[in-house]
Structure 1
Amino acid sequence: MEVEAIAADLAAHPSIRGKLDIAASTAALGLSGRAVGRPGDDAAAIARPEGGWDLFAGEGFMPQFVQDDPWFAGWCGVMVNLSDIAAMGGRATALLDAIWAPDTASADALLSGLREAASAYGVPIVGGHTNLRSTELNLSVSVTGRAKRLISSFEAQPGDVLIASIDHRGQYRPRFDNWCAALDVPNARLRGDLELLPQLAEAGLVDAGKDISQGGIVGTALMLAECSGCGFDIDLQAVPVPPGVDLARWLRTFPSFGFLLSVRPECLAEVCSLFAARDIHAAAIGRATTRSSVDLTLGEERATFWDYAASPYLSLSKDTAHA
């Protein structure tokens, strides 16, 4: 597929366009990237008087996903929240869950997934909300954490190198673009992999980044670019792809462990080597630019995936204000 077709298909895909809903909510709430907690980051960061940051994040799930695969949805309720905290350079401290189900039996698999993931990652579930008289099964999970030094969505700078760090040791879950590399692995590996992010932040190796969420590599790059007020050129030939996986699908995939990090060029080798030491693929896939777009390149071909100046995405740059 030619690069223009890849860019066009990705820009039209529901997993990419779903993030457009965020702007409507933040506008209605009067929030911007300058608001308390800095909406647009993976977690709200509140400065602590004694130093460091309190972190808060939460995830709600697509009802169809929860109903089709409730155990895995419960597991993801933990996993994705811990990824958000790690993406900020933090360590999670506690989780809260809110579940809706028609009855107790319908909630069993969902709660089992939550419990087993919390145990695997070593973060306690400390409370939440339960409704066992709902017509449908659904889930929301929130997390608290702390960081000594932040990785932010607002700190990418032109000239930075864009690193994709993704655990390829997994496979797709049926029906969805979710790449799971977190099941049937030692708990110590799960915890150690996430611990790498706060270590990178505290060592001053990474200032800017996001976890790769729904929308995949390209959608996450777009969010990072818009928040930071820069652009990115992504070299499709440089993107590591697991064997047998289609490139276009990989670019929109939601991995269980995946981060985009915008780092200073002098930090590139050390950052990649630290991921490699844990058998996690990490590679430079592009550079930050002064433009307002995420562009895809393939040899001599170039196509704009999205220009947020022409079509705002999150509308949460540090310079955007809502009345």
Structure 2
Amino acid sequence: MMKPHLPLRKLAQDLRDHPSVRGKLDISQSTGTLGLTTQSDGQPGDDCAVLPTADGFDLFSCEGFINAFVKTDPWFAGWCGVMVNISDILSMGGRPRAVTNAIWAPSAEQAQPVLAGMKAASLAYGVPVVGGHTNLRTDDLQLSVSIIGHAKALISSFAARAGDVLICAIDLRGSYREPFDNWNAALTTAPDKLRETMEILPYLAEAGLVTAGKDISQGGIAGTALMLAETSGVSIEIQLDALPCPAGVDMARWLRSFPSFGFLLSARPDQAAAVCAAFAGSGIAATVCGDVRDGSAVHLTSREGTALFWDHARTPYLNLSAKETSDA
């Protein structure tokens, strides 16, 4: 293994220290109190709770939003309430059915743009808002959104295996929604195209073309790769030069960015071309960008060499080594 130069080591250190990556460490505090384990109902640790049915799996997920984000960009926060929950369902090979919300606001006027954003996304994606909770007598604007969906075949984050390749698929046709690290490609995509991309992950699941996967969430590519590595009990090497990346975007920011449509998947090497082609058919950039191996470390590699990002055996992330997990 080549000795990394300082810039690559510094990149790995900066990612380890970034709030979007370290925020996931909070999960184990809740799961410990709740007594959740990988054996609990719902398969904690995946992007959605998994509830087996006679014809597949019902999926349930929930997202809460950072108050500063909701306050700064309330319409887009409402849109994201629908969008990121849909992404959780898709990441597990499912199709979304309906969303509900819980909104707190000082007044109806301040709640309006959040709800308008939710409505716009609901219409664009074709996923109805079917109810929720409203409180218009609070000091701060806050939002939480839940979703249900169904999968005929499951993509789980527990199933990556040594010998798999890592595939990154991201819609690059967008821009940052400043000042946050949110890469927005959804608002520039026609609703019929949004709905078309919603069929890619269910197709891959039902065709058996991927072994595991997660949507790229808060924490970006780096944090999501770490969660996938820990839940599957493997080591992952991310080849930075092979990642799909928009022109002119700094790699440090890109590795922690939250894309509107982005997934990390593992697949057997002989299936990788078919997986990438399924995304390319809808204009989504998808590349083989790493390897899954035995071990417990996530490494970043480039022309400079290799640097350790995180070792989940030494420093648990979602604390799966202690059998304490939560939906991530």
- Looking at structure 1, the residues matched to 320 and 120 of structure 2 have their Cα atoms a distance apart, in angstroms, of 35
Displaced runs of 4 or more, over 3 A:
none
Gaps of 5+ in 1: none
Amino acid at match of 2:167: I
Which residue matches 1:320?
Answer: 323
Q: Deviations over 1:124-164 (max 9, x none)?
A: 11110000001111100000000000000100001110000
**Residue-by-residue CA offset, 1:18-41 (whole Å, 9 max, x unaligned):** 000001111111112222111110
CA contact (8 A) 1:33 1:227 kept: no
Q: Percent identity?
A: 58
Aligned positions of 1:273-292 closer than 5 A: 273-292=277-296
Residue 225 of structure 2 corresponds to residue 214 of structure 1: no
Give me the whole-angstrom Cα distance separating, in 2, the residues matched to 1:74 and 1:97.
10
Which amino acid in structure 1 is aligned with residue 108 of structure 2?
T
> Which of 42, 58, 66 pairs up with 1:37?
42
* In 2: Cα distance, 1:92 partner to 1:176 partner: 26
Kindly provide the amino acid, as one letter, of the partner of residue 297 in structure 1: T
Structure 2 residue 7 is matched with structure 1 residue 2: yes
Task: Give the length in aligned residue pairs.
Answer: 320
Q: Hey, what does 1:80 align to over in structure 2?
A: 84
- In structure 1, distance between residues paired with 2:284 and 2:295: 30
Which residue of the partner structure matches residue 186 of structure 2? 182
Structure 1 residue identity aligned to 2:127 = V
Shift of 1:42: 0.5
Q: TM-score, normalised by structure 2?
A: 0.96
Structure 1 residue 17 and structure 2 residue 37: aligned?
A: no
Partner of residue 302, structure 1: 306
Query: Given the two structures, how large is their TM-score scaled by the length of structure 1?
Result: 0.97
Gap change, CA 1:14 and 1:321, over 3 Å in 2:
closer
Greater mean alpha carbon deviation, residues 214-223 or residues 180-189: 180-189
Distance 1:300 1:186, change over 3 A: closer
Alignment RMSD, CA only?
Answer: 1.2
| Structure 1 residue matching 2:68: 3-state secondary structure | helix
Give the Cα–Cα distance (whole angstroms) in 1 for the partners of residues 187 and 71 of structure 2. Answer: 20
SS at match of 2:101: strand
1:163 corresponds to: 167
8 Å CA contact 2:104–2:142 kept in 1: the answer is yes
Asked if 1:235 is matched to 2:239, the reply is: yes
Q: Tell me, what secondary structure is at the counterpart of 1:2?
A: helix
Deviations 1:221-244 (A, max 9, x none): 000000000010111111121011
Q: Matches of 2:65 and 2:9 in 1, distance apart?
A: 31
Contact 2:28–2:324 (8 Å) recurs in 1 = no
Which of 196, 218, 236 is equivalent to 1:192?
196
Please give the residue correspondences for 1:61-76 in structure 2 after superposition, counting only pairs within 5 Å: 61-76=65-80
1:60-85, Cα deviation, whole Å (9 max, x unpaired): 00000000000000000000000000
Structure 1 position 300, deviation (Å): 5.5
Superposition deviation, residue 2 in structure 1 = 2.0
**Structure 2 residue matching 1:244: 3-state secondary structure:** coil
Corresponding residue for residue 257 of structure 1: 261
8 Å CA contact retained: 1:34, 1:321: no
1:321 deviation in Å? Answer: 5.1
SS in structure 1 opposite 2:196?
helix
Tell me by how many angstroms 1:316 deviates: 2.9
1:39 touches 1:316 (CA, 8 Å); kept in 2?
no
Structure 2 counterpart of 1:94, one-letter code: A
Is contact 2:214-2:263 (8 Å) kept? yes
Of 33, 47, 50, the match for 2:52: 47
The whole-number CA distance in structure 2 between the counterparts of 1:231 and 1:162 is: 11
SS for the counterpart of 1:111 is helix
1:138 aligns to what? 142
